[in-house]
Amino acid sequence: MALYLVACLVTLVVLVLAIRIGGWLSRKSPFVPLSVHYMFTRRCNYECGFCFHTEKTCHIESFENMQRGLWMLRRAGMKKINFAGGEPLLYPQLLSKLVAFCKKELGLESVSIVTNGSKLTERFMADAARYIDIIAVLCDSFDEQVNIRIGRGKGAHLAQVQEVAQLCRKYGVKFKINTVVNRYNMHEDMNEHIQALQPTRWKVFQVLVVEGEHDSDKTIRDARRFQITDDEFQQFCDRHSHNKCFVPESNRVMRSSYLILDEYMRFLNKGVGEPTESILDVGVQRALEHVYWDQNSFYERGGIYDWSKEPEGYNNIQFDKADFKKSMYLICIYDSFYPPNALKIILRSDIIQNQVRLHPGTNTISTAVAISDKIFTCLWLDGSADDICNACDRLADPGWIIHSHPANGMQAQ
């Protein structure tokens, strides 16, 4: 009898351990929403026939709810926010408050806007440009008749694209172009125009039909007439891929590589119109559990890139001082909550030019993390350029560049 009880007890213990171990093994690591596209409005002054975010409602969350949701995303790991719509610049005062909040309060690495360009004004840029890293303008054709046929304005869209480019250059914001390749522009040669506009990034999308949004004659729009084949999209890409700014995205990559937040702060599954519950109600992690987001596709489409602008007024100072190990690969591990007014040093591999970025100040932090056979290092120091040289005698190659700037907010490239 005693042996039987012992056997039962052992069996029970093994069963409990198996359940717990199974739970540990099946437990998913938290999703990290590095880059989020927040489409806070569905309202738009254009009627692009393939737009998947159709104007079903005019709902906009209160600014207080937006702040709360954005804080939740930041704590979950968000580093980049992209404001889109609809047309976000139909609400210039709200948008100005949002970009300022994301830079000043959240300390995000990158704040960007996607716009059709028709409502971007000098007044908005004078007020908000300091908080914006990238402005992307939608431009699907350099033939105004094609733009009209698509629904992209009524004949003045190209002039608006030019104006956006000029305002971005004037205010030091990175200028980006987004193009949707579709049935009406797939044979166009845009090389000359792209080279003239010189965007820092040209995103080229294969037109995508989203289930439940614009995929039938029962939805507000029916985008099926714009669809092209994968081969037709590839032909367009082959014609333009020599441009350094060119970044293509096929339907396959797009469907699983974006985290899109709608006007209720719900995540959308791109390609399937069903949203999650609002992060305001269930939190970020619980909402993300119901989104299909493929991190590999995110990296494949170049989801992480040089997404921060250069701060205004920095100076380059060249100097040589080092006898360092050539085999060492060093790079900055960036945390947006670094102490203000600190000296920041970025040391990179031979592929990327070694840089030092200088902030006069009093705070000091030094961290180093070894990953695989490369060494990733971030140094925060006090002092002058000579202090930097002395502190880094063991670390990198000669040929430093110092970027000196008096203000806070220096970003790692």
pLDDT in tens, the chain (413 residues): 666 555 656 565 555 455 444 444 444 556 788 899 999 999 999 988 778 766 667 899 999 999 999 999 999 999 999 999 899 999 999 999 999 999 999 999 999 999 999 999 999 999 999 999 999 999 999 999 999 999 888 888 999 999 999 999 999 999 999 999 999 999 999 999 999 999 999 999 998 877 655 454 555 567 788 898 999 999 999 999 999 999 999 887 777 678 999 999 999 875 455 789 999 999 999 999 888 777 666 766 767 777 887 654 333 323 233 322 222 222 232 233 333 333 333 333 222 233 333 333 322 222 222 222 233 333 333 334 444 444 444 343 333 333 333 333 333 33
With CA atoms as reference, report the closest residue to 157 among 259, 49, 45: 45
Partners of residue 36 on adjacent β-strands? 81
pLDDT at 269: 74
Q: What is the per-residue pLDDT for 356?
A: 34
Nearest to 158, CA basis, from 186, 177, 182: 177
If we measure between CA atoms, which residue out of 378, 393, 269 comes closest to residue 325?
A: 393
Return d(Cα 241, Cα 238) in angstroms, integer. 5
In the set 51, 139, 332, 378, the catalytic residue is 51
> What pLDDT is recorded for position 286?
93
The catalytic position among 48, 102, 139, 332 is 48
Annotated catalytic residue: which of 8, 44, 139, 332?
A: 44
Q: Is 102 a catalytic residue?
A: no
Q: Name which of 391, 403, 376 is nearest 322 in CA terms.
A: 391
Predicted confidence at residue 378, as pLDDT, reads 36
8 Å CB contact between 82 and 174: no
Q: Is 48 a catalytic residue?
A: yes
pLDDT reported for residue 398:
34
Taking alpha carbons only, the member of 242, 128, 154, 152 closest to residue 194 is 242
> How far is residue 279's CA from residue 75's CA, in Å, rounded to a whole number?
13
Report pTM: 0.69
Alpha-carbon gap, residue 335 to 243, rounded angstroms? 32
The reported pLDDT for the residue numbered 330 is 28
Token pair of 291 as six digits: 């989104």
pLDDT of residue 262: 93
**CA 131 – CA 141 distance, rounded (Å):** 29
Question: Is 245 among the residues known to form the active site?
Answer: no
Q: Give me the residue label for tokens 């293509």.
A: 248
